[in-house]
Each structure stands twice: as C-alpha cells, then as structure tokens.
Amino acid sequence: MASESQVAPEHQLEKSFKKEIELLSLGEGQTFHGEGILAITKALLQSGVAYVGGYQGAPVSHLIDVMVQAEEYLDTLGVHVEACSNEASAAAMLGASIHYPLRGAVTWKSIVGTNVAADALSNLSSPGVTGGALIVVGEDYGEGASVIQERTHAYALKSSMLMLDPRPDLPVMVRMVEEGFRLSETSNMPALMELRIRACHVRGSFVCKDNIAPPISTRHLMEEPAKFDYARLAHPPVTFRQEKLKVESRIPAARRYIAEHHLNELFSGRRDDVGFIVQGGLYNSLIRALQQFGLADAFGEAEIPILVLNVTFPLVPEEIAQFCLDKRAVLIVEEGTPEYIEQEILASLRRLDINTPIHGKDMLVAAGEYTVEVMAGGLEKFTDRYLPGSAAQDGKVWLRSNTARRQEIAQRLRAPLPARPPQFCVGCPERPVFAALKLSQRDVGPTHIAGDIGCHSFATFEPFSFGHSILGYGMSLASRAGVSPMMKRRVLSVMGDGGFWHNGLLTGVQSALFNGDDAVLVIFKNGYTSATGTQELISTPDEDDKVAAGDKQQSLVHRNLTIEKTLTGIGVQWMRTVHTYHVERMRRTFDEAFTSDFNGLKVIIAEGECQLERQRRIKPWIAGLLRAGKRVVRVKYGVDEDVCTGDHACIRLSGCPTLTLKDSADPLRVDPVATVIDGCVGCGLCGENAHAATLCPSFYRAEVIRNPKWHERLLDGLRGSVLRRLQAA
Amino acid sequence: MTFAERRPVTLLICALGGEGGGVLAQWLVETATRSGYSAQSTSIPGVAQRTGSTTYYFEVFPVPLAELGGRKPVFSLYPVPGALDVLVSSELLETVRHIGNGMTCADRTLVVSSSSRTLTTAEKLQMADGRASSEELLKVVQQYSRSARIFDMSAVAQETGTVLSAVLFGAIAGSGALPFSREAFEQTIRQSGRGVEPSLRGFARAFEIVAGGHAAQTPASAAAPAPAGLPPDLASAFPVSTHAMLGAGHARMLEYQDRDYAGLYVQRMKRILAAERAGDPLGERGFSTTSETARYLALWMAFDDIVRVADLKCRASRFARVRREVKAQDGELLRIYDHFKPGLPEVAALLPRTWARVLIAWDRRRQRAGKTALALRLKVGVHTISGFLALRFLASLKWLRKRGNRFAQEQAMIERWLAAVEQGARSHWQLGHEIALCGRLVKGYGSTNDRGKDSLLHVLGHLAVGGQWDLPQARAEAIRAARTAALADDAGMELDKTLAKYGAAPLPVKAQPIMWVKKRRGTTA
C-alpha cells in the first residue's frame, strides 16, 4: 500500500468532531453551515440549555456524540452532558426540570427509544415541568430506517406532551428549538421534537445567535433544594389533579402560545377555496409534488394555501377552523399510521359544525413514507376532484411513466436484483463467532436463536441467516424464557455488550438466574456500542490501556473485566471467555454449552475489540511508525487461484466483504474462484475457518515486512537464494 | 423563462457504506456556497462502514443567489423518480437498482456510473457462478439514460491512490451538469486539508474521463487467456472447435502426471468424440459435448491431492503471484504461511488399497466413538527452507499417486461418468451433452469433493442410466434440472426435491456422529 493511499482513508475513519465543536461556538451574526442535527445542537446552546443527555442511535447519534466531545467548551458555559445508559435514564434526567427552572434536552432514536423511556416520560408529564424540557427524537421512519415502523406522535397524545415537527429548513428548525423551550415552560408540558432521517442529515445554513450560559448551571450551583411539594410527585392522589391540569390549563396555555407566536405557518395561495394542512416535516415534499403539477414555483409559492403545522400536538382548533371554514375541501398530509391529526381535525370541525370535506388517508396511501411521488399520487386525486384541469398534464404523464418504466425494467431483469444489506465490517470480531456457530450446529443440530439489536443482528443476513426473533435492545435472553422450557434442545441468546448494559443484564441475566433457567447466552464483548457509531461503555477499554499498549493492533477489550465481574457478582456459575478469532475453540465452547451437564445459565463471552475502533487506533500508529522508518508488519490473506476450485464454501462461512470472487484464469474452469481483495485487514478468520471447517488448502497468510531489521534481511536473502535454486531444479 | 419557472438541478449519488459519500455531499454544498448558489444536500447514510447501499441527494438552483432578490428556493429532501438530472453511482448493480426503482428517465437523466462491481453476498455464496451479468446491467443503463458515462471508478481511485469520493466528485464536475467551475470544485478539495494531492489526482482523472468522453459505453472485457496448443498429431484427430479445450486438458495431464496419463486422456476423449459423432454425424452442435467433456475430464483426472497442492504451492510463479497480490514493494520482505488441514483420508489416498482401508476404518471407528476425525492443523511457512522442502518432498510423490487407493477410485468413477456420456451421446445429442456438463459437480476438496461425486453418480444412476423414460429429451431435461439443483445448496435440499419431482430416489443420508443434548426435564405432563 502506498503511503499516500493510507492518508485519505485514515482521514475518513478518524472520529473527531473538532470542526463540529467549532460550529457550536459560533456567535451572533455568524453563519452556520452544516447538518440539521448539528443545527439543533447549536440551537440548544442558543436557548440556554443547562443539561443535555441521551442515548445514541441513528439518526440523532451526532447530537450526543458532539456534545460529549465538546465537554470542555460546554464546561465554560456550565452545561452538563450525560451519556446515559439507556433512554429511560435519559428521560428520567428531565426530572430536574420538574422543580427547577432549568432547561434540559435529551435525545434518542424513536420509536424504540421512546418505548424504553415511556415510564419516565409518563411520570414526567404528569407533574409537568417548570424549566423547559425538550426531547429530540430521530423519527426512524421510511427508507433507511432500522426499526419497526410506528409513530412517536402516539406518546405525545397519551402523555400530553408537545409535539414539534419543524419544517426542514435550518432557520425554522433552530427557531422551533428556542420556541419549544418557551412553549414547554408556558404550558408546563415536556416537548417532543421529531426529526426524520433526511431532516437530520439535511445540509443548510442559518445565522447564529450567541450561546447563552444558563443562569443555574454547573458553574452557578443552587444553594438549596426546592421545598417539599407533594403536588409535584407522580403519586396519588395528586395524579388525579394533574390529569385535570393537563386538559384544563396546560393544553389551553400551549394553544394560546402557539397561536400568539405563529408557530404554525400559513402560506397563502390564489385558489383559496381549497387547502392543504401538512406536518412541518413534510412541507418540502409537498411543494415539490405541487411543482411537478405546475401548482407551485421554485420558491414555494403555491396556487393553493397551505397550513404548515410546526406543532402537531396540541392543534389549535381555532387555527384549523379558520383555515377550513369556507373551503370546498382540505387535504391533510400526515405521514404514517394511525392518522391521529386527521382524526383530531375531523372531530374538532364536527364539533364546531364546520362541514368542509376533509381528505387525507382516503386519498394518500395509509402506510409508509411520504416521498414526493407518493404524495403526488394523492394530490392528483385531490386536484382531479376539486380543481379539475388545474394539474398540468405533464405531471400526470410523469406519474404514469414512472409506473410503466418500473414494470418494464422489472420484466427485463426477470429476477429481482440481489439485495445489499449492511454486513459485518472487514475484520469484524463478531463474524468468526457466527462461523463457529454454523459449525457447531453441524455437531449439535439447529437451535432456536433469540436475536438482539446490535451489529450482531447482521447475522440474520446471508451467509449466516441466524436468529428467530428480535424483541428489542438487550431483550434476547428474556425473549427465550417462554421458548426454552418447551424446547428439547437448548436455546441460544445473542447479545452485544451494548444491549447487555442497556438492559440485558436486568431483564435477561437477572431473570434467568432468579428462575434457575437453563439458557445459553453469548455476549459480544467488543467494547463499544458499535452499531450506533462506536460510543463508549462502562466496559470500554481504558484510554490508559490504549496508550500503554505496545502493539496497538491487538484487541484490548480483555483489559476491562466489568462484564465478567458483574456476572460473577450476580451469580453466574458457568462462564467461558473465548477470543472470537479462535473459531475452533469457539465452536467447541458452543458445543460444550449446548451439551453440558450444567443446567443453569451458561454465558459465553466472545471477546474481540470492534475492528472500526481498532483501525482508528492502528492507522495513525502505523503511519507514525512508517514516517519514523520503523519496522511494520502488514498481514493480508489470499487465495491461490490455481488451488481454489470455485466451490465458495469459504464464503458461505464468512461473508467478509474482502473475500469475493473473480474469473478463473484457468481456461478449464467455468466457475469463478475466491479472491481476497485490497482492504483485508489480516484478521485471520480465513485461516481459522480453513482449519476449523477443514476447507480447501488454497488460503495463505502473507506477512509483508516494511523496514525490516538487518538480520531479517540477511536471513531472507539466504532463504531466497536457496529457494530460487530449488525452484529452478 | 422567469427564475420561478426554472427548476433546481437534481443529482442522486449512490455509494456503498464506507466510500465517503458523506464527505462528497459536504463538498458539493461547500462548492455551491462558495460559487454563490443556493443548494441543499441530504442523505440516507445507511450503516456507515458496513458496505450496505447508501444514497446522497443534492439539489442546486442554477441561478446565482445574488440574482434571486432575496428569494429562497424550496428544495426537495427526496430524489424524485423520473425527475433526476444526474445519477452518479460507484457500483454498477446499485446503478441499476436505482434505475429499476424508476429514478432515471431516458429524456432527462445523465448516468455516470462505475463499471466495477462489488459483489453482493447473495451472488458470492452460490456454489457455481451466481454473479449478475454486467453486460445485461450495462444494457439497462444505456436504455434508461439520456446519456451514460461509464468507467471503472475503483481502478481510477486505486491508480491515483485516493478514495472513491474524490473520483465521484471529479466525475460529477466533469459531467458539466452543475453550474460551478472546475476551479471551484478543486478549491473545495484543497480546503478539505488532508490527502489533498491524491484527491486532486483522482478528481482530475475522473473529470477528464467524463468530460472528455473517454468513458466507454461498455467497458473492455478481460482478454481470454491464450489456449494451450495441441500437439499436431492429436490436432488432426479432433475437430478444430475442440482444440482449445483439448489442448488445455492435454497440457494439464502432462503437468499433473506424465505422458502416459496424457495418453489415457486422449484415448478417453477419442471415445467421446466417436460417440458424439454417432449422435450428431454432421457436427451441427460444434462438438461441444466433446469440448465440455474435455474440460471436466481434465479437471477430474487432475484431481487435487496433497501432491498436487504441494506442487502448486512451491512454484516460483506462485511466489511471484503472491508478491503481486499483496502488493509487496521492493525492499519489503514477504513471508507466506499456508493453512493445511490434511486428514487421514488424504494420507490414505496415497497408500495401497488394503492399507488405506485399514486406516480409514480405524478413523471411522474413532468418530463413531464420539471423537473428532483425525486431522493435522498445519501452518507451513513456505518462505522458510524447511517448509519449502517439506512441500517439495510431497510434490515429488507423483509416483506414489498412481499406486494409491484414491487414484484407482477416481478412475473407476471417471469411467462410470464417461460411459454414461458415451451412451447418452449416442442415443441423443442433448442427453450426452447434459451428462457431460454434470462434470461441473465434481470440485472442491475432502467432503465437498465427495459430496459432488455422490451427487453426480446418483444422478447418473437414477436419471442418466436408470429409470423409465419415453423420450431422451425428457431424460436430458431431468438431468439438466438435477444438475442445476445440485449446485443450488450444499445440503442437497434442492437436489432431493428435483429428484423427487422426476420420481427418483433422494440421495442416501450419510451417517453423521450426533451429540446428545442433555436436558433436565421438569415434571412430566
């Protein structure tokens, strides 16, 4: 590898938020250029937030990652940042705002994170907040989503929380954060702000304000706690009054504020006998759909008036009524199911005896993401009915031709194209475990496998296809409690260290031990919550160990024994730690766990540090060694193409992206042969698999030594001359 | 046309996780901002680094911001199918995936795509060749684009020592679809700070390929290796169309064993040719049964054993190839370790029949007793003198091979297959051809090799020779189906299904040691 070619990928991999932190400290009048989620982060500081917490997960990981790294700067403002152990602990953190005039913000991935946080959220919403409380949720919905498709909106409704859904324009998003805090304080309701994936990643700009150091902060501590006030507990009998307060005073206060400060935006249009009501987040798509029909111009000037709901709960009935009154029809553009907003509008108009026809899910598709094209399909129905002839013909032609073209190509390709799901990274320490599991299943037969959330869920894809169920983060061991008593063979539960600390320790391990269950649990101890962007955990190897390690290439997770000590402490009696790249040993350990006489909980700790993190550490280290002219050994595996017969059994046991195929150079062979391409990090799995599964003898391990020592060079010269002579003979 | 009637230029970028798409999107917006245009990007980044599909979407309004009188264009966060100006993609299958989703249309979209493939797991894990045809994919690209610029972006990135994002950036700039100058693009790279020079090189190369129209409409396919020559006395005995394969096969026999063995190969091939001539006297089918038999017969006769592998592993050409593959530079030392795990069957293969039987029977008894099969985990450093000599010693055991138990077994099985090909070829050309193609089932090592031969012999016994069939075509069809099925999965599920469909017995189940799982039972119901 040329030294230059190493520079660029290194630059890519390095996870540092230096530039982002600079953006956070911009002052009044300066322009921020960057992604939506970072703009939200900046807006928190502009709003004088005093504490921030959260649990990582796409698409909002960035918020908490940047905040954690910006600790030094935040300390100058007196802002406290907490990397919470799960969403419940993040939500509970907002409890500070019940009594104290502190602005707090937390973030997580929704719907899943909100589900985990639900208990705390209910208990927060009932007493209500004094200081503004903002929950920034990444609405992981539609293309690119990795979770079940449900709406966070339901939580706002049931717990009486505000729901903000800002128009995806950076100045509006920033304003809604600032208004969100004020609205929360005015109404005593915590506020949810939902940001869809594309809005989190949208790049734009806004003009900044100065950050506000909160009046009460880690630099300005409170002298005394609040006076005891039973009314602020989520405890009977005050909970009954709190429910009344929600309806009688909090929601009305919120409505007044929303209306007075024009949080919802009304865009007028020439044809004002019809109209659209749209969730703020969907505004841009609606405009583009209208543009396709010639009903809006490039600047969003539309023929038809649009009411943009930047706050989707509570709605302001007067605002809605005024908009709908005297219109022939209104279309509500609301993504996902159930259509809560549409139902609420229908109910409130009916009560006011306004009989404007309301359309929504009857014209737009009920389920799934509202892309521009999907939205255009609904708009066509609406305009055909209420504004016949107004939608440009080429818009209609466009819609038809899309459908026709797709069908044509599908027919032409005959079979659907092979999918490309995400997979284990090159050199991932989890891949060997599933290779070993595949081999073990040959010994003991197929087992029921309770899967979990995390990188290891990629084992559900080819070539492994492991996992019968995924019940939530850290839930694998708990989710087998009903299966294993009914099953002749033992059940395997798979869990990452992220899931273990998120809640697997309590819901799974504690419960299995308490009930004396016969269970097998494999914990992937890779040291980080890797799937969410390698955030650190309590069991992450210490920075000191990383600095002290002579060989930076080695896995360092064995230096932190928090998981092992915790398991021993809680009473686990059967525990085996296996380095994941030892496939044969891992296989035997699986076999043992599945057949052992021990009938309690058996835990296998599959130890191997996340390869992404290792590469971040290795690349600058190697570059430094090379710059200093020091000895470096680079390992790469390869396949001898004349020995490989093109059976691909090695691929079915690995799936590594760098183990792939190429045409055989042998004119006799028709099938492609295996090959290892550039990017191989020399993890050793190919060799381990070749041994453990008795694969073909075509794999070799090559060690390339740069800047060798003099005696190595001498030995190599001697060997070379002897070998060359023998080869010539 | 007023500004308001103008529409944004729309650009969809498809990349795989870890290719730097996020950096690319940032670069595009920075270039637009510096050039004085209003622009927006967004993305579905997928799971970074994990090589799943990712997309980035960019829009720019083609009128400078200063001329808009303070008005702000509203950009879409979604790419709109059929309303794309440019589709840029780093991988050919992904290009077609998005075309298949309706993204491009022939009257508007310029497609800039890499011709390179990153194979999906589903394509890689097939036992035969599961790769999508690039030729077919390219045809789709041509048909559903206004114009297509296709070149190997991975190769450009590699040659210029940079990452794909820089190459993609150059390709976008070179397409001329965006209203920014080349200098503006390059300025963005300079400002990014690190890896600037290689990035600029990759950018420039891609820019010139796309702007200069050097991008091929279809990439050049790799030249087929020249076939080995057939000795003149043999050439006259076989039709010209079979020479390439026979030449390669004949050369393989000489290299694998000796002249006698090559002679046996030719003799066998003459039988097949005679049979094919009987079924197809005019050679209307180009003697492809003979050619295909020549192929698979050569591979089977040169079956891989310890001797063969050792020979291949210690050749000078192999050392050079490894050095090339791992890109070891001059002055860097190379150490090569080979992973072997020979078991008793591999050793027994070289022993005379009686000895081999005793040894294998003993190994089976051990396994029945719950012990693992005896096999030696070896990691041999062939760069060392001792390692090399060990392999050279094994490679010198060619003489033993011919006397060994496996040699006799293989020849017997080869004869059964050849007899079936002969018999089939005489009765009906198609039938002979299908049986010949079944030679593809025999590959791999150890149990994989055994499984392939079991499948082949089973198909021969139940479909090629046995069974009641009215028409030879129907028989040929059944064999074709069974062959395809045998390559569908390594558990033989598809093969059994297909066999059942044609009324043939399933593959006999092989005895396998089982581990009993002990489990404490609760109260019995």
Query: What domains does chain B contain, in order, with CATH numbers?
Result: 3-211 (3.40.920.10), 411-520 (no CATH)
From start to end of A162-270, where are the E strands?
162-164, 191-196, 203-207, 265-267
Phi-psi group of A150: left, alpha or beta (phi > 0 → left; psi -120 to 50 → alpha; rest → beta):
beta
Percent of chain B residues topping a pLDDT of 70: 93
**How many cross-chain Cβ pairs, A to B, lie less than 8 Å apart?**
376
d(CA A456, CA B468): 51
The H or E element containing residue A727 is helix A710-728
pLDDT tens, residue by residue, B106-136: 999 999 999 999 999 999 999 989 999 999 9
Percent of chain A residues topping a pLDDT of 90: 88
Buried-state track A703-714, b at ≥16 Cβ within 10 A, e below 16: bbbbebeeeeee
pLDDT tens, residue by residue, B310-365: 999 999 999 999 999 999 999 999 999 999 988 888 888 999 989 999 998 898 88
The H or E element containing residue A52 is strand A51-54
How would residue B524 be classed by pLDDT, with cut points 50, 70 and 90? very low
Contact check, Cβ <8 Å, B332/A490: no
For A463, residues 6+ apart whose C-beta sits below 8 A from its C-beta are A651, A652, A653, A654, A655, B121, B125
Q: Looking at the partner chain, which of A201, A634, A678 has a beta carbon nearest the beta carbon of B42?
A: A201
Lowest mean pLDDT segment, chosen from B152-166, B322-336, B402-416, B494-508:
B494-508
Residue B59, pLDDT score: 97
Residue B1, pLDDT score: 53
Residue B520, pLDDT score: 58
Structure tokens at A236: 């009977």
CB neighbours of residue B523 within 10 Å: 4
CATH superfamily of the A431-615 domain: Thiamin diphosphate (ThDP)-binding fold, Pyr/PP domains (3.40.50.970)
For residue A671, the chain B residues in CB contact (below 8 A) are 128-129, 440, 443
Average pLDDT score over residue span A475-490: 94
Domains A264-413 and A431-615 fall in the same CATH topology: yes
B contact residues 440-499, partner A, Cβ 8 Å cutoff: 440, 443-448, 490
- Amino acid (1-letter code) at residue A316: V
Q: A264-413 — its CATH code?
A: 3.40.50.920
Contact check, Cβ <8 Å, A405/B144: yes
A contact residues 457-516, partner B, Cβ 8 Å cutoff: 458, 461-463, 485, 488-490
Q: Assess A400–B contact: CB distance below 8 Å, yes or no.
A: no
Q: Determine which of B10, B124, B141, B449 to mutate to test the interface with A (most A C-beta atoms within 10 Å).
A: B124
A contact residues 403-422, partner B, Cβ 8 Å cutoff: 403, 405-406, 409-410, 412-413, 417-422
d(CA B246, CA B252): 10
Residue whose token pair is 């659209």: A276
How would residue A3 be classed by pLDDT, with cut points 50, 70 and 90? very low
For residue B197, the chain A residues in CB contact (below 8 A) are 4
Q: What is the pTM of this model?
A: 0.94
Please, what sign has the CA dihedral across residues A662, A666, A671, A676? negative
Select the CATH number that applies to the domain covering A631-728 from these four: 1.25.40, 3.90.1170, 3.30.70, 1.10.3210. 3.30.70
Report which of A443, A437, A649, A23 is spatially closest to residue B370, judged by C-alpha positions. Answer: A443
Is residue A473 a contact partner of residue A503, using CB atoms and an 8 Å limit?
Answer: yes
Q: Assess B248–A contact: CB distance below 8 Å, yes or no.
A: yes
Q: How far is A687 from chain B (nearest CA, A)?
A: 6
For residue B78, the chain A residues in CB contact (below 8 A) are 198, 285, 288, 371-372
Residue B511, pLDDT score: 72
> Is ipTM strictly over 0.90?
yes
Average pLDDT score over residue span B459-467: 81
Locate the domains of chain A by residue range: 19-259, 264-413, 431-615, 631-728
Q: Looking at the partner chain, which of A12, A288, A641 has a beta carbon nearest the beta carbon of B163?
A: A12
Q: What is the mean pLDDT of chain A?
A: 94
Q: Determine which of B135, B162, B339 to mutate to test the interface with A (most A C-beta atoms within 10 Å).
A: B339
d(CA A595, CA A578): 17
For A717, residues 6+ apart whose C-beta sits below 8 A from its C-beta are none
**Is residue A706 predicted with pLDDT exceeding 70?**
yes
Contact check, Cβ <8 Å, A697/B338: yes
Residue A388, pLDDT score: 92
CATH 3.40.1190.20 for domain A19-259, yes or no, is: no
Residue A14, pLDDT score: 41
Contact check, Cβ <8 Å, B343/A12: no
Average pLDDT score over residue span A189-197: 97
Q: How far is A391 from chain B (nearest CA, A)?
A: 16
Closest-CA residue of B relative to A143 is B44
Structure tokens at A297: 């111009």
Residue A526, pLDDT score: 96
**Is residue B72 predicted with pLDDT exceeding 50?**
yes
B contact residues 356-385, partner A, Cβ 8 Å cutoff: 375, 377, 379, 383-385
